[in-house]
């Protein structure tokens, strides 16, 4: 096991976990004031997050999971890999939602649903990796 990779992964979980409440607050502000300038800013933040997540997921799938997979955690790892796909899909959907709103469409309900879904899955995903998957390495 490459402990440098493990350290990087944990640090990225911390960074992304801390971003979750910030995105939530930003969304609420945007929704309340219909602030399109802040919405553009959110789109930029989420585009950067998507690039970081793509790299992070690739690291896990190519370097972490193959090293640690065993009979006890293989189902968990399959679920985590499916969540990677799901998270990137919802993020793409959110990016399209934002562009549509910036173009004047009223799809706030759909947009809100996608944001809440994304943040919920991401939070849950990080918790599963930090508290279920990673502790299983040491046992």
54-62, 90-98, 113-121, 131-139 -> range binding Fe ion (CB under 5 A): 54-62
The number of beta carbons lying within 10 Å of the beta carbon of residue 136 is 14
Q: What does the block give as tokens for 45?
A: 């933040």
Residue 87 burial (10 A CB sphere; 0-12, 13-18, 19+): buried
Residues 87 and 122 sit within 8 Å (Cβ to Cβ): yes
Min CB(100)–Fe ion separation in Å:
29
At a CB cut-off of 8 Å and minimum separation 6, what does 115 contact? 23, 24, 27, 94
Residue 129 binds Fe ion (CB under 5 A): yes
Complex with Fe ion: residue 49 or 98, whichever CB lies closer: 49
Complex with Fe ion: residue 55 or 105, whichever CB lies closer: 55
Complex with Fe ion: residue 46 or 129, whichever CB lies closer: 129
Min CB(59)–Fe ion separation in Å:
8
Residues 69-128 that bind Fe ion (CB under 5 A): none
Residues in touch with Fe ion (CB under 5 A):
60, 129
């Amino acid at each position: 096991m490459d402990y440098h990779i493990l350290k990087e992964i944990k640090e990225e979980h911390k960074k992304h976990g801390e971003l979750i409440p910030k995105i939530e607050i930003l969304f609420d502000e945007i929704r309340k004031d219909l602030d399109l300038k802040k919405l553009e800013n959110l789109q930029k933040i989420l585009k950067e997050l998507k690039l970081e997540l793509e790299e992070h997921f690739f690291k896990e799938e190519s370097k972490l999971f193959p090293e640690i997979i065993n009979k006890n955690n293989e189902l968990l790892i399959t679920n985590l890999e499916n969540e990677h796909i799901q998270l990137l899909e919802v993020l793409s959907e959110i990016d399209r939602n934002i562009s549509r709103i910036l173009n004047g469409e009223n799809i706030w309900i759909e947009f809100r649903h996608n944001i809440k879904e994304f943040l919920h899955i991401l939070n849950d995903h990080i918790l599963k990796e930090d508290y279920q998957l990673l502790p299983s390495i040491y046992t």
